[in-house]
Structure 1
Amino acid sequence: MAADRHTYSAPGRRVVIWRHGRTAWNLEGRFQGQSDVSLDKVGREQARKAARLLAALKPHAIVSSDLARAADTAEQLARLTDLPVALEKGLRETFAGSWQGLTDAELRERFPDEFAAWKRGEGVRRGGGETETEVADRVVPAILRALEGVPPRATLVVVSHGGSSRVAIGRMLKLPPEHWGSLGGLSNCCWSVLGEATRGWRLLEHNAGSLPEPVIGDDT
């Protein structure tokens, strides 16, 4: 039956890591970091549409960054599922100090060496803020704390940000930090799905905007 297609039948738990909807700063290409920027009109509509899809997964719990753009995205799913949203400071985006609020062009002009090193994939403390490994050090424990109350075969939805989501996925998949950049970024209001297996977490979907499909074949 169609209603059974999205029932999670694996013995472990499932984590949906969902990026917030669009903001005006996204549109302007500004580095947001932990600046508390709200969703714009398009972002709110993205959140409503995505929530209707994710509600079909029948999540057990929702946890979100406490920044407005993530919390407001999470609230759209909460309204459809009657679940509370647990706000978690540990899920915030990277703190980027003096980079926050600047466009790529402004960053290249003001911090040329630091910006170039970051683009090369080096572990730069952007704007005097956090490194990627420091972000993973707080985001992954926040996800694991939320998972403590999630039973087997159930789904946790984590609402976070582009950079924090990518490093969390990399850490949970046990990839070395120098390989985290191989994970493409999440588009606004898209998500990645991790499934718990006997050998650790597996990446089931990445940068998705549709419901996860069952894997049929020899690699299940």
Structure 2
Amino acid sequence: MPGLPPGAQHGGPEQHQGRRRGRGRPLRGVPAHPDPDARVGPVSAVAGRGGAGRKLIVEADGGSRGNPGPAGYGALVRDALTGEVLAEVAEAIGEATNNVAEYRGLIAGLTAASAIDAAARVEARMDSKLVVEQMSGRWKIKHPDMVPLALRARELAEDLGPVSYTWIPRNRNAHADRLANEAMDAAARGEHWVRKIEETPGEPEPPPAPARPPSSTPVTTVLLRHGETPLSVEKRFAGTSDVPLTADGLAQARAAALALKDRGLDAIVTSPLARCRATAAEVAAVTGLDVRVEDGFREADFGEWEGLTFAEAGKGWPAELKAWLADPEVAPPGGESFAQVSRRVRTALDKVKVRHREQTVLVVSHVTPIKMLVKDALGAPMPSLYRMHLDVAALSSIDWYADGPATLRSFNDVHHLPA
């Protein structure tokens, strides 16, 4: 089978004899994983009893908003031959660091794998280099908070068949990342939240339940990209460069303000950069609302590429630009990675949710933060950013529910702008 490590496709039905009916069946409605990234190779260290069980893949992730901050983890188990998801688990764990949450995710994934087949050979895939290297025995575990977690993970690994640890890029860990972010959202709301989905033996499959709308009143974020600037006209990287609006940009901001006058806004939050503050000021003038600055909604820092066109950046830094496009953890030279932007935007959103429960909040921001919020609302992977187009002074809207998924109500609405 393409992309699987050697030996993953070997072994016949006899490996599954004696397993209780229904255990390890694919989860209903959860698609199989796409072909693994051919660049990803297994880390060498292997632990376990050396059993001849089936091959399972554990994907795990964890994180916190603030490090330490509201934290959670997510993990899932796949059948290595088919890619089918056999189990999912996620949990909000209160306040913790990224590393603690990542270890908790690994422990949960190994526990779920053991429940499916205690003799299974397991490959644990994570985007945490620290956890992979420590569990592989190449890096020492120095922090006292990590020691008991690593010991617990090793105990679980010893009770399974051979367990190997593989580092994967973050964009290849999107499923576990989504589960972890759901858990972090719950932790930010102060909830103890656990999600566990696993096929149980012998249960008939019930018909799918009809979708039910969330019962709570959402926090609605109306997202407004700032008006035109000299750099946006020339399609240049404009991150931390504090450029002003053009005359057309100011007119666009005023048009957006008139469109929002009767929208029922309760608050206005803006990026600290001048182009957003000027746009927000126009809305404040017609609504009478104060403007609060939130640094987390500023644009990405493009470092050495600030003020350059895409072609100019590619000419001067061809390898760096290619790496940046391929991996959200890679930053432009002297700049900020998309993964870093994503984390601070989520933290800024959490502040809005806490401060403005059941209210409608205008967030005046930039291309990257707004796309990040849309991506998170849809549960989409990071590469989806490259499939969105957002015009200057465009409006988008997202409802964030406390007891259900977010809803994207509109995106890139420019009906208020002159043709």
* TM-score interval for Structure 1 and Structure 2 normalised by the shorter chain: 0.7 to 0.9
Distance 1:146 1:86 in 2: 11
Q: Deviations over 1:54-102 (max 9, x none)?
A: 1221200000001000010001000011000001111110011101111
Moved over 6 A (4+): none
> What are the residue-to-residue correspondences of 1:176-195 with 2, within 5 Å?
176-182=381-387, 184-195=388-399
Match of 1:128 in 2: 334
- 1:205 partner amino acid: S
**What SS does the corresponding residue of 1:199 show, helix, strand or coil?**
coil
**Residue 140 of structure 1: which of 343, 346, 350 is its match?**
346
Length-normalised TM-score, structure 2: 0.45
Q: Which has the higher contact order (CA 8 A, sep 6+)?
A: 1
Contact 1:136 1:171 in 2 (8 A): no
Q: Report the CA distance shift for 1:196/1:146 in structure 2 as closer, same or farther (over 3 A).
A: closer
Identical pairs, percent: 34
Distance 1:132 1:146 in 2: 21
Match of 1:202 in 2: 407
62-71 or 108-117, which moves further after superposition? 108-117
Q: Deviations over 1:14-54 (max 9, x none)?
A: 11111100000111221111110110111000000011001
Q: Which has the larger radius of gyration?
A: 2
Query: 2:364 aligned with 1:159, yes or no?
Result: yes
- 1:175 partner amino acid: A
**What SS does the corresponding residue of 2:275 show, helix, strand or coil?**
helix
- Structure 1 residues without counterparts, runs of 5 or longer: 1-9, 212-220
Distance 1:142 1:55 in 2: 24
* Structure richer in strand, relative to its length: 2
**What SS does the corresponding residue of 2:285 show, helix, strand or coil?**
helix
**How far did 1:127 drift?**
2.5
Query: 2:298 aligned with 1:107, yes or no?
Result: no
Distance 1:209 1:190 in 2: 5
Query: 2:257 aligned with 1:57, yes or no?
Result: no
Give me the CA root mean square deviation. 1.8
Match of 1:22 in 2: 228
Length-normalised TM-score, structure 1: 0.83
Contact 1:23 1:38 in 2 (8 A): yes
Match of 1:12 in 2: 218
Distance 1:75 1:200 in 2: 32
Contact 2:279 2:364 in 1 (8 A): yes
Query: 2:303 aligned with 1:92, yes or no?
Result: no
Query: 2:373 aligned with 1:168, yes or no?
Result: yes
Contact 1:140 1:172 in 2 (8 A): no
Q: How many corresponding residue pairs?
A: 199
Contact 2:377 2:408 in 1 (8 A): no
**How far did 1:144 drift?**
2.2
**How far did 1:141 drift?**
1.4
**How far did 1:209 drift?**
2.0
- 1:156 partner amino acid: V
Distance 2:350 2:261 in 1: 22
